Amino acid sequence: MKVLELYSGIGGMHYALNASGLEGHVVCAMDINTTANTVYKYNFPHTTLLPRNILSLSAKEIDNLEVNMILMSPPCQPFTRVGLKKDINDERTSSLLHILGLIPEVSDRLKYILLENVKGFETSQARNQLLSALEKANFTYQEFLLSPHQFGVPNTRHRYYLIAKRLPLNFCFEVGSLMETFPFHLSDYEDTNPLAAKIRELNLQPRSLVLKECEEKTDIINGLCYSVKHILEQDVSEQEYALTDKVLGKHGQLLDIVTPNSKRSCCFTKAYGHYIEGTGSVFCEFPLEKISEVYKQAEVYDSGNKELIDLLQSLKMRFFTPREIARLMCFPEEFNFPGEISKKQRYRLLGNSINVHVVSLLIALLTLDDDPP
């Protein structure tokens, strides 16, 4: 399988392809973000990476690459809940619209497409144009809204996904309207469906990188998330990652706090570590009972009060490190940032990236069986 990776970022799609069990390789990656390209090249030095605007790509170039599959995660800003939602009138959608115009022109060698974007894309005009382009090129498709916590990962990151394959190839399940669950029950080990068994086997692979206690593997089999303690780094610098007095004084009452035994965390965005509200969870080593006790004492103080700040500082709360966030997004341990990439840049790049595990499952589902259901 020859794969073209568009909007390649830091290589999340590449890692998902590697984890999917599919025999294939990325013949070309393309992204205009120079910082992301530095990280991508650091981790995939032997992959052809083109630092080009996707608007310059032609159908002939795609054909010359003999591509069988396209993986892409176009800019999400035109569709986010905090953005202006200008949709196709946002210039950042121009490259996606360009690709949609190319799909009907590309040779039948292109069989598979996977697209990821933010929740909200499913109601956009861009999505409607995507479906029109696929239908024009004789593709069948399925849309999803999925989050990693549905697959045992203690992180919420709802995203839109589309998988498509060119007819007469077909899916191994019945396609239909937008799905908010995976078509197979990954935790149901009594299901003898051989296709579901293959997916279930894949479903456990990323956990082996971080799980240290066997009892939590049973939780995953039963459809539960593993604990946050399994993604934590040792000896994290308090000075570098601790929440400052300013943050605690202004935002201390609004924090989403996660403990080692938590089986959840909020979506991490590119503004994590820079802005506080709605950008991701913070970590506290103390149990929930201790946290509740401190916050109950803090109720009598106004924001910015020194006594309030001192109370909250006693909890030793900190930001998650980029490595910890990468683990929550299921990047493998061999993934690394070059030394010249700053902490702020690392947070931004991770916030713009994908959950590797969810996409790996969808790639496996896309290519698992090409017979009619």
Q: Where are the domains of the chain?
A: 2-208+355-367, 234-320
- Is 45 a residue whose pLDDT tops 70? yes
Cβ atoms within 10 Å of 20's Cβ, excluding its own: 23
Q: What per-residue confidence (pLDDT) applies to 373?
A: 40
- Is 219 a residue whose pLDDT tops 70? no
Q: What per-residue confidence (pLDDT) applies to 370?
A: 65
**b/e sequence 148-178, b meaning 16+ C-beta within 10 Å:** bbbbbbbbebebbbbbbbbeebebbbeeeee
Q: What per-residue confidence (pLDDT) applies to 206?
A: 45
Structure-model confidence comparison of residues 180 and 203, the more confident one: 180
Structure-model confidence comparison of residues 307 and 93, the more confident one: 307
- Is 222 a residue whose pLDDT tops 70? no
Q: What per-residue confidence (pLDDT) applies to 208?
A: 41
Helical H segments across 257-342, by residue range? 288-298, 306-313, 322-328
Tracing tokens 């509740």 back to the chain, one arrives at: 292
Q: How far apart are CA 99 and CA 19, in angstroms?
A: 26
Cβ atoms within 10 Å of 284's Cβ, excluding its own: 22
Q: What per-residue confidence (pLDDT) applies to 264?
A: 94
Q: How far apart are CA 177 and CA 141, in angstroms?
A: 10
Q: What per-residue confidence (pLDDT) applies to 79?
A: 56
Q: What is the mean pLDDT of the chain?
A: 88
**CA 194 vs CA 147, 191, 207, 367, 369: distances in Å:** 24, 8, 22, 14, 11
Average pLDDT over residues 23-30: 96
Give the active site residue among 76, 172, 284, 330. Answer: 76
The SS3 call for residue 293 is: helix
Which range has the worst mean pLDDT, 11-15, 134-138, 277-281?
Answer: 277-281
One-letter amino acid at 173 equals: F
Q: What per-residue confidence (pLDDT) applies to 224?
A: 76
Cβ atoms within 10 Å of 10's Cβ, excluding its own: 29
DSSP 365: H
In the chain, at which residue ranges do the beta strands (DSSP E only) sit? 2-6, 25-30, 49-50, 69-72, 112-118, 139-146, 159-166, 257-258, 282-283, 318-319
CATH for 2-208+355-367?
3.40.50.150
Q: What per-residue confidence (pLDDT) applies to 14?
A: 97
Check if 284 is active-site. no
Q: What per-residue confidence (pLDDT) applies to 223?
A: 61
Q: What per-residue confidence (pLDDT) applies to 196?
A: 72
pLDDT digits 0-9 by tens, 133-156: 999 999 999 999 999 999 889 999
Structure-model confidence comparison of residues 190 and 303, the more confident one: 303
The answer to whether 2-208+355-367 and 234-320 have equal CATH topology is no
Which range has the worst mean pLDDT, 9-23, 77-91, 135-149?
Answer: 77-91
pLDDT digits 0-9 by tens, 227-270: 999 999 999 998 999 999 999 999 998 999 999 999 999 999 99
pLDDT digits 0-9 by tens, 338-373: 999 999 999 999 999 999 999 999 999 999 876 544
Q: What per-residue confidence (pLDDT) applies to 209?
A: 44
Average pLDDT over residues 203-211: 47
pLDDT digits 0-9 by tens, 244-254: 999 999 999 89
Superfamily of domain covering 234-320: DNA Methylase, subunit A, domain 2 (3.90.120.10)
Q: How far apart are CA 336 and CA 334, in angstroms?
A: 6
